[in-house]
Amino acid sequence: MYSSDEIEMCSLKVLELDGSPSRMLLRLMGDRGCTLGHLIDFLQTMGQTEALQCVKPPGIQILIQPQSVAVIAGHNLRLSCYAVGKAGVQYQWFKTKEELPNRSSPDLVISPVRLTDAGFYICRVNCGDNFEFSQWAQVDVFNVATSYGEPQCHTSGQRLLVGDTLQLECGAVGRPIPRYHWHRNGVPLLFPEASKRRLLIPYLLLEHQGKYRCEISINNERTWTNEVDVFVGMYCNCPLLRCNDNTTDKVALLIGNLSYQNHPQLKAPMVDVYDLTNLLRQLNFKVVSLLDLTESEMRNAVDEFLLLLHKGVYGLLYYAGHGYENYGNSFMVPVDAPNPYRSANCLCVQSILKLMQEKETGLNVFLLDMCRKRNIHDETTPNILLKVTANIVFGYATCQDAEAFELSSSGFTNGVFIKFLKQRLLEDEKITVLLDRVAEDMGQFVATKGKQALEIRSSLSERRALTDPVLPDGGSDAGRSHSRQWAKAHELPESMCLDFDCGAQIKLGFAAEFSNVMVIYTHIVKKPEDMSFCQAHVTNLSLDLDVDPKEMNRETPEETGIYLLSSSLPQHCLYTRLSSLQKLKDQLEFTVCLQGSFKAIDELVEWTTDVNIGKPLIAKLDLHRTMRRNSCLQTCPMPHSPSQSPCHSPKPEHFHHPQDHGFLSPHCASPYLEVSTLYDNCCPSGHACVASDLANSPARASIPIETTDDISELQTVFINSLQLHHQ
């Protein structure tokens, strides 16, 4: 685990006055980002029981944790926490961070429970000078007339009109809190609101009509609500009646590049793509969202996108990452672009537009969230002849020869463009009117006023809106076939239950964070009564995915890098995040390993089973292929194109690294915007400069709801970290 030089440093350090091999080893582990949890895992693996006693909290062991529960108003609520210690233990219950008076017994009983009693509860166990907190327990209280026991559901709906708000609500009681997922016409809905007991669609379209019902699960049991027929009519003077009535489909490709190999990394593209995906799906777009694509992967993704464009189709392409603009041509920079890069290493936006023009689409929307500074290393002048056609809209996040900004934050935040776009994207307005309003909102933003302004270019001859309804059976047979293939790019494998010879049963579940990022989680459904310990994890994953073993099978989603999806994942599982699924060449096979020990035998026993889930999500499209015959590269003839003069990445010693000047050091990147000051420096690669030192930026924030004693304060801090504060 450690090099010989590091071990030698530990042995030499003991000769100094305050030296200690143990201290040096702990310092080395800390420098490598190891947490106390990692240290405990290492000690348990090595069987160092004496050392474990030194790092584990002494004296208190919580035997029974309070469990989350959903109850009906007027019934009784009981939360229990039992612990043992070297001396007598005492209890104190809290609701969020407020201490509950006269609640100092192991059982918290509220009778009758009221709607105001809903919230998060935690118990503090005291033993002498030591104390421990239990896990958090969420209490959900319903005001419905139903009986306790088997989950009883209540769903309501009504006849609505285009532009109205649809709200469906269902409630179930049980322990632990039930989980919900809404379906329309038998197909699961994919936006985050579909995983809540209240389904809210703020702006109804004709395609939202159908039969709705909710799947409710508690542990390994499932039940369904009754179906609700939602009928959507139209106002006589509805603006949609004046819209294009020949929309055959709506498709979108969203690309966010942030983990650059030879350039400073970004943060906002991940959040921007995630938010935009959820909003476009509410507008009935078929969306494929991808992170961190190489040049060949970007070209292949664009090729697949172009296959979907036919007469009457609405196509939207969004890109966030590094970029530049030379002689009126915009270039998107892949994550594997060399330093410095040129047009041969990038994708030319105008070449993609040329192909889109040949499709007779109903609407072409380009949203480019990147810098448009000139690239002094690229003197190529692409010769691209564009037709004069209608229904094209360009939304540039910034003006020509200017930068696009991120907001510097310890947490997750949008870029400036998406920060304002997502507030208006669901409005039923002509797309150019909508973007004009976004431009006005950005113009009032003090931090970027005079430094970043949205630029809109349009050739719309008719009213086109992202809310326009899709014809029920529109499009050609070929178009429908490609559309179905595109839709498969966000289809997840089915969850499955695995039975082992020892009598244990494991649930293997899957969730999609992006079209090329999937989460695998394992959950113990049942285990034999005489089994004292039981845990399941995944192993032997494909080498194509390059997964760090240290970030696999973690107890919280945040430990594996799952931040945006963590709130919708089931609890008490082991989580593994698989990114870059587009690199998967074969079907995804892996091993599920069950580890357990029995009360009579104090040793660990393993059982394994192999699982094959095929090609999940974007892996079905085989974007890993190096080049395709219909590649968009062929539409952008350039003197330095790879077919004539390949441009290879320079060796590491040829990379340009700006001198470090601390917090204000200029880096070549899509710039960060510090909370109080914005620096506008020009970099040689055509980007603007980072306004905060990436190397010194704080780690990403997370909210471990069930492992903290002050959830409200942490949530407030986290939410505030996503906003821009003025000093």
Which residues are part of the catalytic machinery? Answer: 322, 371
- Residue 349 dihedral angles phi and psi, to the nearest 5°: -65, -40
Q: For residue 485, which of 353, 580, 583, 622 has the smallest C-alpha distance?
A: 622
CA dist., res. 6 & res. 13, Å (int): 11
Reported as type and span, the H/E element at residue 195 is: none
What's the token pair of residue 575?
A: 């989580």
Q: How far is CA 246 from CA 170, 316, 474, 475, in A?
A: 36, 17, 8, 9
Strands 286-291 and 249-256: parallel
**CB distance 573 to 525 below 8 Å:** no
**CB distance 250 to 486 below 8 Å:** no
CA dist., res. 674 & res. 448, Å (int): 11
- Residue 110 dihedral angles phi and psi, to the nearest 5°: -120, 115
Q: How big is the CA angle at 257 (ends 256 and 259), to the nearest 5 degrees?
A: 135
- Residue 416 dihedral angles phi and psi, to the nearest 5°: -60, -40
- Helix ranges (H only) for 324-375 are 349-357
What's the token pair of residue 194?
A: 């579909």
Which strands sit side by side in the sheet containing 249-256, from one edge to the other?
286-291, 249-256, 313-320, 363-369, 392-396, 455-458
- Helix ranges (H only) for 249-294 are 268-282
Q: For residue 516, which of 247, 294, 695 has the smallest C-alpha distance?
A: 294
Cα atoms in the Cβ-side hemisphere of radius 13 Å centred on 9: 11
- Residue 446 dihedral angles phi and psi, to the nearest 5°: -60, -40
**CB distance 132 to 83 below 8 Å:** yes
Burial class (CB in 10 A: 0-12, 13-18, 19+), 429: middle
Cβ-proximal residues to 102 (8 Å cutoff; 6+ apart), any chain: none
CA dist., res. 132 & res. 91, Å (int): 10
- Residue 609 dihedral angles phi and psi, to the nearest 5°: -145, 145
Q: For residue 685, which of 399, 381, 261, 338 has the smallest C-alpha distance?
A: 338
